[in-house]
Amino acid sequence: MQSTENTEWENQTTITKFILLGFRNLPELQILLLLLFLVSYFVTVAGNILIFALVVGDQQLHTPMYFFLGNLSCLETCYTSTILPRILASLLTGDKTISFRGCMVQMYFFGSLGATECYLLAAMSYDRYLAICKPLHYATLMNSRFCLLLAAGSWISAFLAISIIVLLVSQLTFCGPNEIDHFFCDLTPVLKLSRTDTRLMELTAFIFASIFTLPPFLLTVISYVAIITTILRISFATGKQKAFSTCSSHLMVVTVFYGSLTIVYVLPKNDNLRDLNKVFSVFYTVLTPLLNPLIYSLRNREVKESLRKGLSKFLLCTTMQTL
């Protein structure tokens, strides 16, 4: 009798570590993946920090559009730092384990920053809508106080909401297996490992996900429908080109971000698409933060001009110090 009780207790022992399987089906590409992720991380962090510094340091970029861009660049730096360092360590050392607490922390910051990005992208689309469709009222409607409220609301609401999700997940029972078929601690693969009934948890997560993705997505779509309609009504070609150039960069980022999210989280799941889902997960966890500084710097005249002035000042200071 005592032996049976001990066996049952051992079977119910709560696990303290997870194993992130990552790209286990591609062992021959581990070195290539390491190099690609390392370069991506360096370019992403350097590019986003550079844009954030330009927005803060250049007085000409102290406008609502660049205020939100600065927030987005700060977010992308944190976002990619939540995922990529752990992937790089795993590829470099071969250690795929992550502690239970570390997994919860990663899930919290990944979810919070992802939800914040949805609302920041919506705020940026609304800003472009007012600038193009309501130019006479733009300065009044998109004032500094309103911009600050939009940004603060995006950050605070997302971090508070996701804390509830992660708190509920941490209360679930995990007794094994402990292998997460992903390269980071995403909610869905983690819930699959729980021995507890997760239906209520999944419903709660669905409600929160709907709140933080559907409204900002609809606002973004409605804004761009109005923007495109307004641009098409402009009679002269130069005006059309100038109006579209102010929002084309943001539209590209939105398309990549929501397109990959839709493929990973909305489309039906099956074993054949599991590895493909990992590939598309790379799009919104790695590619979108990487593309943001490149798109906004290469396609934005004001950012390029600010960068040129910044480099000129840096070279001048360097030259004077050497003399």
Residue 65: name the closest of 78, 51, 77 by CA: 51
Question: What integer pLDDT is reported at residue 305 of this predicted model?
Answer: 77
Residue 113: name the closest of 145, 83, 90 by CA: 83
> Domain 14-315: which CATH class?
mainly alpha
Q: What is the pTM of this model?
A: 0.85
Residue 161 CB neighbours (<10 A): 17
Q: What are the residues whose beta carbons fall under 8 Å from the beta carbon of 255, sequence distance 6 or more?
A: none
- The amino acid at residue 178 is N
d(CA 125, CA 119): 10
Per-residue pLDDT of the chain (323 residues; tens, 9 = 90+): 444 444 443 445 577 889 888 777 667 777 888 898 999 999 999 989 988 988 888 888 888 988 998 999 999 999 999 999 998 988 888 888 999 999 999 999 999 999 999 999 999 999 989 988 888 889 899 999 999 999 999 999 999 999 999 998 988 888 778 888 888 898 888 888 888 888 888 888 888 888 888 899 999 999 988 988 888 887 776 666 766 766 777 788 888 888 877 777 766 556 556 667 777 788 778 888 888 777 776 667 777 777 777 777 766 676 666 66
Each residue of 33-70: pLDDT tens digit? 889 899 999 999 998 998 898 888 888 888 898 899 89
**What are the structural domain ranges in the chain?**
14-315
Residue 234 CB neighbours (<10 A): 15
Question: What integer pLDDT is reported at residue 228 of this predicted model?
Answer: 86
| β 179-180/17-20 pair status | parallel
The token pair at 226 is: 């109005």
d(CA 220, CA 42): 30
Q: Specify the DSSP class assigned to residue 186.
A: -
Question: What integer pLDDT is reported at residue 189 of this predicted model?
Answer: 85
> What three-state secondary structure class fits 196?
coil
**In this structure, are residues 191 and 32 in contact, taking their beta carbons and an 8 Å threshold?**
no
Q: Specify the DSSP class assigned to residue 270.
A: -
